[in-house]
Amino acid sequence: MSRTRTSDVLVIGGGIIGLVTAWRAAQRGFATAVVDPEPGGGAAQVAAGMLAAVTELHYGEQTLLGLNLASARRYPDFAAELTELTGHDLGYRRCGTLAVALDADDRAHLRELHALQQQSGLESQWLSGRECRRLEPMLAPGVRGGLRVDGDHQIDPRRLAGALVAACEREGVVFHRAWAERLTVVADRAAGVVTADGTGLGAGQVVLAGGSLSGRLAGVPEDVLPPVRPVKGQVVRLTMPRRHGPFLSRTVRAVVRGSHVYLVPRESGELVIGATSEELGWDTTVTAGGVYELLRDAHELVPGITELPLTETRAGLRPGSPDNAPLLGPTGLEGLLLATGHYRNGVLLTPVTGDSMAHVLATGELPEEARPFTPKRFSTATALTEQPA
């Protein structure tokens, strides 16, 4: 191993989650470093950037809803702070979302979602098909009704990632553009990593934020490795005309033949259509079938998309966890913390993750709102001791 360079906090992974952790840690005065061959890359280069706490609500995920809402509430200040600091426009757009139904089954499903939202104290409004089309004239005549959610917004995740890199640089975060090959453990404590070229990076605390690769770092004890898996998502990007008013003025989404499809219109004129959900390991091939299904389903919602230029197709990997919620905070190995498993809400959860990780790095304790997301909920030892007698 060559020379060792040390920091207070070393973050493995420079996706949006690692970057926000590093930025907030550096703001607290920690000497902070990030190790990643390509900081600012990762799933954010593909993600749609919906900030959809309300429309993404699922049965059994009410605990996650609390964290999602806590992060959504932070977004206006978070985005303003990042833009002021870096000068980057994040494409943050408080445009709202319309979830629509194309047939009777979809409508029943949306009605259930509406009921669940109301039970959870969330704001959403049921609209007839005609009311939906009045809001979004490009919608297909077959739309049978929908849910208007004015509180679910969007941001451009590529811009967010770029701004977070700039914010880290301003705050003095050191970037090691390398692959972390192995965690170093000294006297039962995480002490840093060894990079692919054999350089040792030492640290007081190590945060593993490797997205879908978080469960694969060598040197991490078996019972501490996060149970994170890659969930592939393919996305298509089109360009909207600027001529006669907006093509779409808010995010439109639906479940078509059992698959989720959404159209996210950015102020820049980009229209993001996503996303497939495939359990195929670390494969990021864009397939004809994936693109076909996205365009077919999106076309049922908004027939006019077939006229638009197709600008990009891409696939990325969501870091999925067993309960679809993130793993935040200390592990069973002293000095090793996790910030991973954000699955389909990593963009939404960026602000609250940064605050929670900075808090736990400084105090050793997760803040109240993040406590249910301790990685220890998956450790066998904890599960056994928490069994009722």
Residue 233 CB, shortest distance to ligand FAD, in Å, is: 3
Residue 208 CB, shortest distance to ligand FAD, in Å, is: 8
Cα separation, 287 vs 128, in Å, equals 36
Residue 211 CB, shortest distance to ligand FAD, in Å, is: 2
Q: At what angle do helices 62-86 and 157-170 cross, to 10 degrees?
A: 60
Residue 140 CB, shortest distance to ligand FAD, in Å, is: 22
CB closer to ligand FAD, 148 vs 342: 342
Could you tell me which of 318, 350, 361 has the C-alpha nearest to residue 11?
361
* DSSP one-letter string for 244-304: SS-S-SSEEEEEETTEEEEEEE-TTSEEEEE---B-BTB-----HHHHHHHHHHHHHH-GG
CB closer to ligand FAD, 138 vs 161: 161
Residues that bind ligand FAD (CB under 6 A): 12-18, 35-36, 38, 41-44, 46-50, 179-180, 209-213, 217, 233, 235, 274-275, 316-319, 340, 342-348
Which H or E run includes 199?
none
Q: At what angle do helices 157-170 and 16-27 cross, to 10 degrees?
A: 30
Contact by Cβ (8 Å): 91, 83: no
CB closer to ligand FAD, 47 vs 107: 47
Q: Measured between alpha carbons, how far is residue 320 from residues 281, 342, 359 in Å? A: 11, 7, 24
Residue 355 CB, shortest distance to ligand FAD, in Å, is: 16
CB closer to ligand FAD, 330 vs 354: 354
Alpha carbon 301 to its chain's center: 25
Which H or E run includes 25?
helix 16-27
56 three-state secondary structure = coil
CB closer to ligand FAD, 44 vs 325: 44
Residue 90 CB, shortest distance to ligand FAD, in Å, is: 13
CB closer to ligand FAD, 145 vs 354: 354
Residue 43 CB, shortest distance to ligand FAD, in Å, is: 3
CB closer to ligand FAD, 33 vs 145: 33
Q: Measured between alpha carbons, how far is residue 167 from residues 21, 87, 198 in Å? A: 11, 10, 28
CA angle 179, 2, 27 (to 5 degrees): 55
Question: What b/e sequence results for 287-296 when a residue is b if at least 16 CB atoms lie within 10 Å of its CB, and e otherwise?
Answer: beebbebbbe
Residue 31 CB, shortest distance to ligand FAD, in Å, is: 19
Cα separation, 193 vs 200, in Å, equals 6
Residue 318 CB, shortest distance to ligand FAD, in Å, is: 4
CB closer to ligand FAD, 107 vs 166: 166
* SS percent in the chain: helix, strand, coil, step 5: 35, 30, 35
Radius of gyration of the chain (CA): 21
CB closer to ligand FAD, 139 vs 183: 183
CA angle 85, 89, 91 (to 5 degrees): 135
CB closer to ligand FAD, 219 vs 246: 219
Residue 104 CB, shortest distance to ligand FAD, in Å, is: 28
